[in-house]
Structure 1
Amino acid sequence: MEDDSYFEDEEFSPIKSILGLLTFSTILPINVFTSIEYMTKLTWVWPFLHILIGILAAICGYISLEFLHLNSFFTAAVVYAFLMIITGYNHLDGVMDMADGVMVHGDAEKKIRVMKDSSVGAGGIATLFLVASLTIAGIYNILDYNFIMGIIICEMSAKTSLLTTALLSEPLTPGIGSYFIKETNVPNYYASTVIVAIIAYLLGGWIGIAGVLGAMLSGVIIANIAKRNFILANGDVLGMSNEVGRLLSLLFMAITLFFI
């Protein structure tokens, strides 16, 4: 991913940086832009911003269930579609690109070249289908337990997965992803994750904590896959981590719901 010229170089403003993150990762009509360097300084607050997206998705699910009287499976598909649309399909290319890079045989340089190629292979398409299908199944599962708060938790935790991968990775430069990786360090990651865990506990008790743990595990797994295949990581790797993080968060919550 190349640095984009619409990010203007200006004085650092926390409010503009936060709104810039929301502009960057959603289609909400905020239209606040700041330089990529300043925007990524607050990468650690990204999970909290996506609580808003999770709340909107949960409202969408509630309306589908209670007012439109759709069944849980159809509602799960609607919620997933809503999440993808409101985030501008932001990370789906990362899922396909990283999958293509992992699937190809060769050294790290060849794998990176394939990952950065604009064309999409069978591995990328199949992986996106699997991640999307399993995520819908995960939402369906938690809705079957009437745990609609899980939608908020999984969307927030997806960004915790992304931060975990960023913390454990070395950046591939140039690219926007490298800025997020460079700005993720142990202190701000620890602060972000502790606050995420507290919010998840308040929303769902130990079920919420399980969702956060699933997302953290996802981040570790994706970081290790990227390190083994590419040595370095970029925005595509972070995108994959976000989508798999949402999925594993749902999986861990679904398993916990069964046993509690």
Structure 2
Amino acid sequence: MNNFLLALRTSFGFLSTIPVGITMEGLDELVKRSYLQTFTGVVLGLMIGAFAFITETVMPDQISAVLIMVFIYYLTGLNHLDGLGDFGDGATAHGSLEKKIKALKDVALGIGGVGYAVLALLALYASISALQAELIFFSDNAAFMLAVSMLVAEIGAKQAMLTVAAFGKPIHEGLGSMIINSTTFPRYVVSFILGAVASILAFGSVGMVGYVAAIITAFVIINISNRHFKGVNGDCIGTANEIARIIVLIVITLMVVAINGNGGLLWTLL
């Protein structure tokens, strides 16, 4: 039980800015229980959702969207966004495989990384704003629906990370390879079921569609990583977190658009 609690505490330290502390012993226990990252995603998603509910209730949509973004990165940190930047540098580098991997691992941020990070932040803002605009048709429940959408997005983001870890091949030694090598298929199945149940409880079939979209996004990232780097690393895992969150929100928005266009009720999908 002590090892389990140590792994759980480390999961929050690893995936958020909550000051619980991280030790090598804790990381060793966490990689043995990688499914706990999905549970952490549920808790972080609940916190982000609660914040989104409050801001959506008391603030104009545009300001609420910006504040939600600020809270996401205040709570989860910038490590995964940094990983996306490194991924962008590597993916846009010209030349041999060695040059691409060198750009991926380089601590300096290049124009490719800047471009990927900026576009991701713009896409996150746009997806939250677009969802807010569509939820205006459900005025009595708009704040709650935004909250559960943010919850599903965070669950999907963490499951996307584990998907890359479970099905990707490490390209070098490091923390990323520890997670990749330890995320066995049985552990992935546990995390998948946990995330699926949480997504369905949060937002019914809409949540499940968003959750599956996050996993598909992870496989796309694996494919891109394999083409550029012949495998994946921690930066690729972080990229999955950032991109999957956006994709989930876009997919939920498109579902709401389709339902609004057909004059249907979103609650019939719950």
- TM (normalized to structure 1)? 0.90
Kindly, what percent of the aligned residue pairs are identical? 27
Instruction: Write the letter of the residue equivalent to 1:205.
Output: G
Q: Distance in 2 between matches of 1:131 and 1:203?
A: 25
- How far off is 1:228 after superposition? 0.7
Aligned mates of 1:17, 1:129 — CA distance in 2:
33
Q: Does 1:56 align with 2:47?
A: yes
The one-letter amino acid paired with 1:246 is R
Deviation at 1:12, TM superposition (A): 7.5
Match of 2:6 in 1: 16
- Comparing 166-175 with 117-126, greater Cα deviation is found at 166-175
Write the deviation string for residues 76-101 of structure 1: whole angstroms up to 9, x where unpaired.
Answer: 11111111111121201100001100
Is 2:94 the counterpart of 1:95?
no
Measured after TM superposition, the shift of residue 168 of structure 1 is 1.8
Contact kept in structure 1, 2:200 and 2:208, CA below 8 Å: yes
User: Displacement of 1:225 after TM fit?
Assistant: 0.5
> Unpaired runs of 5+ in structure 1?
1-10
Q: Deviations over 1:41-92 (max 9, x none)?
A: 11122121121211111222222222xx321222111111111111121201
Partner of 2:196, secondary structure, is helix
Deviation at 1:29, TM superposition (A): 2.4
Matches within 5 A, 1:1-260: 13-31=3-21, 33-35=23-25, 36-66=27-57, 69-144=58-133, 145=135, 146=142, 147-148=145-146, 149-260=148-259
Instruction: Please tell me the root mean square deviation across aligned C-alpha atoms, in Å.
Output: 1.6
Separation of aligned partners in 2, 1:132 and 1:72:
17
Spell out, residue by residue over 1:25-54, the C-alpha distance to the aligned partner (whole angstroms, 9 max, x if none): 211122253523222111122121121211
Give the letter aligned to residue 88 of structure 2. Answer: A
Structure-2 separation of matches of 1:80 and 1:152:
13
Q: In the aligned structure 1, how far is the partner of 2:111 from the partner of 2:49?
A: 33
For 1:31, what is the secondary structure of its paired residue?
A: coil
CA deviation after TM superposition for structure 1 residue 241, in Å: 0.7
Q: What is the CA–CA distance in structure 1 between the aligned matches of 2:22 and 2:191, rounded to whole Å?
A: 23
Three-state SS of the structure 1 residue aligned to 2:171 is: coil
Aligned counterparts of 1:133 and 1:164: Cα–Cα separation in 2:
25
C-alpha contact (below 8 Å) 1:172/1:232 kept by paired residues: yes
* Distance change (3 Å), C-alpha of 1:32 and 1:107: closer
Task: Name the one with the larger helix percent.
Answer: 2
Query: Is contact 2:42-2:198 (8 Å) kept?
Result: no
Moved more, 136-145 or 250-259: 136-145
Say which is worse superposed, 11-20 or 192-201, in terms of deviation.
11-20
Q: Which runs of no fewer than 5 residues in structure 2 stay unpaired?
A: 136-141, 260-270
Provide the aligned length of Structure 1 versus Structure 2. Answer: 248
**Structure 1: 4+ residue segments shifted above 4 A:** none
